[in-house]
A and B are shown apart, each in its own frame.
Chain A
Amino acid sequence: MKNGFGIFLAAFIALGVSWCGFVLAPVLQLGTAQQASVLNSSDIYPLQRTGDATLGLQVYRANGCAACHTEQVRQDGVACEVVLTSTGKTPVVVSNLVSTLKLTGLTKNEADAASDKITAAGGSVETRIVPVGRDISRGWGLRQTVATDFLYDYPVQVGSLRAGPDLANIAVRAPDANWQLVHLYAPQALVKNSAMPPFRFLFEVRKIGDAPSPDALQFPKDFAPPAGCEIMPTPEAKQLAAYLLSLRADVPLYDAPFTP
Chain B
Amino acid sequence: MNPTATKNFNTSEIDASCRVPLLALFGGAALWLVVGLALSLAAIMTFHKPDMFADCPLLTYGRVQAAANNALLYGFCIPAGLGVMLWIFARLSQSELALPLVPVVAANIWHPGVLVGVVAILLGDSTGFAWLEFSRGSSVLLFAAFLLIAISAVATFGQRQNRELYPSHWFLLAALLWFPWIYSTANLFLVAWPVRGVAQVAIDSWFANNLVFVWLALVGLGTAFYFLPKLTGQPLQTYYLALFSFWTLTLFGTWMGIAASAPLPAWMSAASSAAAALTFVPVLAVAVIAVKTVRGSDVSCKGGSLCYVKFGTAAFVLSALMLIAEACPQISRVTAFTWFGPAQVQLQILGFFTIVMCGAIYELLPRVMGFGLPFPKFVRLQHWLFMLGIVLWAGSLAVGGVAQGMKLGNPQTAFADSTGVALIFLRVGTTGLLFLLLGSLLFAANIFVMTLKWKLALLKSLLAAVKAPLKTAEVKS
If A66-B128, A164-B419 touch, whether A195 touches B342 (CB-CB below 8 Å) is no
- Number of residues on chain B facing chain A (CB within 8 A): 86
- B352 to chain A: closest CB distance in Å? 20
User: B53 in the interface, Cβ–Cβ < 8 Å?
Assistant: yes
| Residue in chain A with minimal CB distance to B63 | A64
Contact A64 B65 (CB under 8 A): yes
Query: B250 is contacted by which of A15, A194, A197 (Cβ under 8 Å)?
Result: A15
Residues of A within 8 A of B337 (CB): 70, 159-162
Contact B157 A2 (CB under 8 A): no
Contact A134 B411 (CB under 8 A): yes
Contact B52 A197 (CB under 8 A): yes
| Residue in chain A with minimal CB distance to B206 | A22
- A31 to chain B: closest CB distance in Å? 5
- A24 to chain B: closest CB distance in Å? 10
Query: B130 is contacted by which of A18, A138, A160, A192 (Cβ under 8 Å)?
Result: A160
Residues of A within 8 A of B404 (CB): 162
User: A151 in the interface, Cβ–Cβ < 8 Å?
Assistant: yes
Query: B55 is contacted by which of A61, A156, A201 (Cβ under 8 Å)?
Result: A201
- Number of residues on chain A facing chain B (CB within 8 A): 73
| Residue in chain B with minimal CB distance to A69 | B62
Residues of B within 8 A of A233 (CB): none
CA distance A72 to B251 in the complex (A): 30
If A22-B202, A30-B202, A67-B65 touch, whether A15 touches B126 (CB-CB below 8 Å) is no
User: A187 in the interface, Cβ–Cβ < 8 Å?
Assistant: yes
Residues of A within 8 A of B420 (CB): 193, 195
Residues 205 to 248 of chain B near chain A (Cβ within 8 Å): 205-206, 210, 243, 247
**Taking beta carbons and an 8 Å cutoff, which residues of B are in contact with A?**
46-47, 50-57, 60-63, 65-66, 124-130, 157-158, 163-165, 169-170, 173-174, 177-178, 181-182, 185, 189-190, 194-203, 205-206, 210, 243, 247, 250-251, 254-255, 257-259, 261-265, 268, 271, 336-339, 341-342, 404, 408-411, 415-416, 418-420, 422-423
Can you add 11 more A-B contacts, CB < 8 Å, to A64-B62, A155-B190, A160-B341? A11-B250, A22-B255, A23-B189, A23-B203, A137-B411, A162-B337, A162-B338, A187-B50, A188-B50, A197-B60, A198-B54
**Taking beta carbons and an 8 Å cutoff, which residues of A are in contact with B?**
1-4, 7-8, 10-12, 14-15, 17-19, 21-23, 26-27, 29-33, 61-68, 70, 72, 74, 134, 137-138, 144-165, 187-188, 191-201
